[in-house]
Amino acid sequence: MNAPMSIQSCGNCGLSSMWALTQLEMNRLGGIIKKSSPYQRGESIFRQGDAFSSIYAVRAGMVKTTVVNANGAEQITGFYFPGELLGLNGLHEKAYLGTAMALETVSVCEIPFAKLDELSAMLPELRRQLMCRMSQEIADEQNMMLVLAKTSAEEKLGSFLLRLSHRFKRLGFSDTQFRLTMLRVDIGNYLGLAVETVSRTLTKLQQRSVIKVEGKEVTILDIAGLTFLNSNGEQSAKPIALD
Amino acid sequence: MNAPMSIQSCGNCGLSSMWALTQLEMNRLGGIIKKSSPYQRGESIFRQGDAFSSIYAVRAGMVKTTVVNANGAEQITGFYFPGELLGLNGLHEKAYLGTAMALETVSVCEIPFAKLDELSAMLPELRRQLMCRMSQEIADEQNMMLVLAKTSAEEKLGSFLLRLSHRFKRLGFSDTQFRLTMLRVDIGNYLGLAVETVSRTLTKLQQRSVIKVEGKEVTILDIAGLTFLNSNGEQSAKPIALD
DNA sequence: CGCATGTTTGACGATACTCAATGTGTGTGG
DNA sequence: CCACACACATTGAGTATCGTCAAACATGCG
């Protein structure tokens, strides 16, 4: 089992590389950030319903967020990589809308939101970065909605793998070979597929030499093949436009 | 054909009711908002790839947003009601990530983002409201992801109708009887279902007296029935937790 | 080693997609 | 005003895909 991935630590916290702030701004930001002790696999960083107080930046390791729906079933809402922010959805309800759980050994920085808000009044660049990150979160989720709206299991899994690939690349890791930290059942839950379908589809893609799978290790052999799975031009809504 | 729904107009713009700001703050905000002429069905408010400059608040009518994916197919990413904000996802790329199109006669307010940003440094409550709205957008989208991750067409459509119901209620309209502004094909595209499946599922739910459908008019007869469709406790990921 | 957890594979049936035809409504022009 | 064209919606028949159930197979851990 290899070490969980991490971003370069620097200054108070591993955050400066992603926030693009000046030294002064970083110092101010660093002043309000609390470093927390690492979480072990299965431990939760916050829980659904807890009062919202802070957002969290993942420093190392991968986190999954889940909600319990009306039927009492647990549904995964996201996987979070180092450098990504947790808890942004809790602000408007003043409570966390889901539970964040470590998938492996995880290190996070806690950023008290009230202080971040005050600070953002004084530091324009920090404010813009924060907005920007929230905007990105919105965009990422729309992207995920596109994945989920695909009709075939192959497309869903293909898009899922490509998304992972992009995020590993952004972290400086290989975008063609990586480790699926989460379980097959998690992938299925996240994508709205049965576990067995996940397994079978991975096997099928492997047989076609689009990917190689060895347990949790995945190698992407044919990115184009993965991108254009089942690419029948259908399933699109025609524009009303006259415009 | 009835008039498109709208929020109460007030002051410069119909926004104050949703922003919970003081009169002074509203005046300052009103000073930067541009009212735009109405858009007709099929006209676009902004287009995918356009440079990001403003966010838009829907005042009246319904808007759909779409993206064109790798295969050149159009995919719907959202339907927007009066009082909701468009374009928030464009900030981090400095370009709109999708096209926003009027589904009926639509009126919007344009809010130049650069000015909003400046203003938010001076008005703490405005800043918090803005963050709060972005947080809500994130939460709404996660909610939608839950809908899409459902495995059965019935559940997807049921949840879709319930979401619409809640939003109509928030606007002061009936939450049990409303009009589907969008086409069946749009619903299918949005939910990852074939048009025929949308049609058949609506019929099936009607036969079971859960809803009543007459063309675009929908009446919800049994909210509980709609909420707990196909509620087999399965399809959930078991927590790893020891914790 | 043995148990628990996770993954894969097989067989079967239900669900949803495809193709095709038929309804239904709406607006246009004769 | 009606006939027609067009876009949209529904329904039917056949098929592929995916979910379910069950069993075998791996993997990790005490």
Backbone phi, psi, residue A117, to 5°: -65, -50
* pLDDT tens column, B65-112: 999 987 788 999 999 999 999 999 999 999 999 999 999 999 999 999
B74 contact to strand D (CB, 7 A limit): no
Q: Residues A37, A70: one domain?
A: yes
Instruction: Please tell me which residue lies nearest to nucleotide D11, judged from CA to C1'.
Output: B200
A177–chain B nearest CA distance, Å: 22
Q: What is the pLDDT of residue B173?
A: 94
A210 contact to strand C (CB, 7 A limit): no
The mean per-residue pLDDT over the stretch B177-183 comes to: 96
Task: Give the whole-angstrom CA distance, residue A171 versus residue A167.
Answer: 6
Q: Do A44 and B138 touch (CB under 8 A)?
A: no
pLDDT at B235 over 50: no
Rounded to whole angstroms, the distance from the CA of residue A148 to the C1' of nucleotide C5 is: 28
Confidence of residue A15 (pLDDT cuts 50, 70, 90): low
Percent of chain B whose pLDDT exceeds 90: 71
Q: Residues B192, B217: one domain?
A: yes
| Domains in chain A, number | 2
Interface size, chain A vs chain B, as Cβ–Cβ contacts under 8 Å? 211
Least confident range of A20-29, A182-191, B96-105: A20-29
Residue A234 within any structural domain of the chain: no
Q: Could you tell me which residues come within 8 angstroms of residue A61 by beta carbon, excluding any fewer than 6 positions away? A: A4, A5, A6, A38, A39, A82, A102, A103, A104, A105, A106, A107
Q: Residues A87, A161: one domain?
A: no
B205 contact to strand C (CB, 7 A limit): no
* pLDDT tens column, B197-228: 999 999 999 999 999 999 999 999 999 999 98
Q: In a mutagenesis test of the B interface, which of A116, A151, A240 is the best target, namely the one with the most B β-carbons within 10 Å?
A: A240
* pLDDT tens column, B110-150: 999 999 999 998 999 899 999 999 999 999 999 999 999 98
A239–chain B nearest CA distance, Å: 7
Residue A44 within any structural domain of the chain: yes
Q: What is the pLDDT of residue B4?
A: 54
Percent of chain A whose pLDDT exceeds 70: 86
Q: Do B92 and A128 touch (CB under 8 A)?
A: no
Taking residue B99's Cβ as centre, other Cβ atoms within 10 Å add up to 21
Q: Residues A67, A177: one domain?
A: no
Q: Residues B89, B183: one domain?
A: no
Confidence of residue A5 (pLDDT cuts 50, 70, 90): low
pLDDT at B242 over 80: no
List beta partners, residue A39.
Answer: A106
Instruction: Please tell me the number of Cα atoms within 13 Å of B92 on its side-chain side.
Output: 17
User: Chain B contacts of A138, Cβ < 8 Å?
Assistant: 88-89, 134, 137-138, 141
Global confidence as pTM: 0.89
Rounded to whole angstroms, the distance from the CA of residue B234 to the C1' of nucleotide D23 is: 20
pLDDT at A135 over 50: yes
* Nucleotide with the nearest C1' to A196 CA: C8
Task: Give the whole-angstrom CA distance, residue B13 versus residue A101.
Answer: 43
pLDDT at A242 over 50: no
User: Chain B contacts of A137, Cβ < 8 Å?
Assistant: 138
Q: Residues A108, A27: one domain?
A: yes
Q: Residues A126, A162: one domain?
A: no
A213 contact to strand C (CB, 7 A limit): yes
* pLDDT tens column, A71-101: 788 999 999 999 999 999 999 999 999 999 9
Are the C-beta atoms of B126 and B120 separated by less than 8 Å?
yes
User: Chain B contacts of A135, Cβ < 8 Å?
Assistant: 88-92, 134
Q: Residues A161, A185: one domain?
A: yes
Joined together, the tokens standing for residue B173 give 């309209």
Rounded to whole angstroms, the distance from the CA of residue B196 to the C1' of nucleotide D14 is: 15
pLDDT at B162 over 90: yes
CATH of the domain at A52: 2.60.120.10
Q: In a mutagenesis test of the B interface, which of A80, A103, A148, A184 is the best target, namely the one with the most B β-carbons within 10 Å?
A: A148
Are the C-beta atoms of B81 and B58 separated by less than 8 Å?
yes
Q: Residues B23, B142: one domain?
A: yes
Alpha helix locations (H) across chain B? 16-19, 23-32, 113-122, 124-148, 153-170, 184-191, 195-207, 223-227
CATH of the domain at B156: 1.10.10.10
Residue A59 within any structural domain of the chain: yes
User: Chain B contacts of A189, Cβ < 8 Å?
Assistant: 149, 235-237
The amino acid sitting at A28 is R
Domain of residue A201 covers 150-227
Residue A11 within any structural domain of the chain: no
Residue B64 within any structural domain of the chain: yes
Domain boundary, last residue among A90, A113, A137: A137
Q: Is B231 or A88 the better-scoring residue by pLDDT?
A: A88
Residue B55 within any structural domain of the chain: yes
Q: Residues A110, A48: one domain?
A: yes
Strand D proximity: list residues 161-200 of A with CB under 7 Å.
192-194, 196-197
Q: Do A138 and B88 touch (CB under 8 A)?
A: yes
The mean per-residue pLDDT over the stretch A111-130 comes to: 92
Rounded to whole angstroms, the distance from the CA of residue B189 to the C1' of nucleotide C4 is: 42
Name the residue among A79, A78, A44, A82 with its Cα closest to residue A60: A82
User: Chain B contacts of A90, Cβ < 8 Å?
Assistant: 135
* Nucleotide with the nearest C1' to B199 CA: D10
Rounded to whole angstroms, the distance from the CA of residue B2 to the C1' of nucleotide C30 is: 30
Rounded to whole angstroms, the distance from the CA of residue B242 to the C1' of nucleotide D5 is: 67
Residue B240 within any structural domain of the chain: no
Q: How confident is the prediction for chain A on average, in pLDDT?
A: 86
Which among A5-9, A237-241, B72-76 has the top mean pLDDT?
B72-76
Percent of chain A whose pLDDT exceeds 90: 71
Domain boundary, last residue among B147, B179, B195: B147
Confidence of residue A18 (pLDDT cuts 50, 70, 90): low
User: Chain A contacts of B224, Cβ < 8 Å?
Assistant: none
Q: Residues A98, A173: one domain?
A: no
Residue A143 within any structural domain of the chain: no
* pLDDT tens column, A28-56: 888 888 887 799 999 999 999 999 999 99
Q: Is A144 or A15 the better-scoring residue by pLDDT?
A: A144
pLDDT at A243 over 50: no
Q: Residues A178, A208: one domain?
A: yes
pLDDT at A6 over 60: no
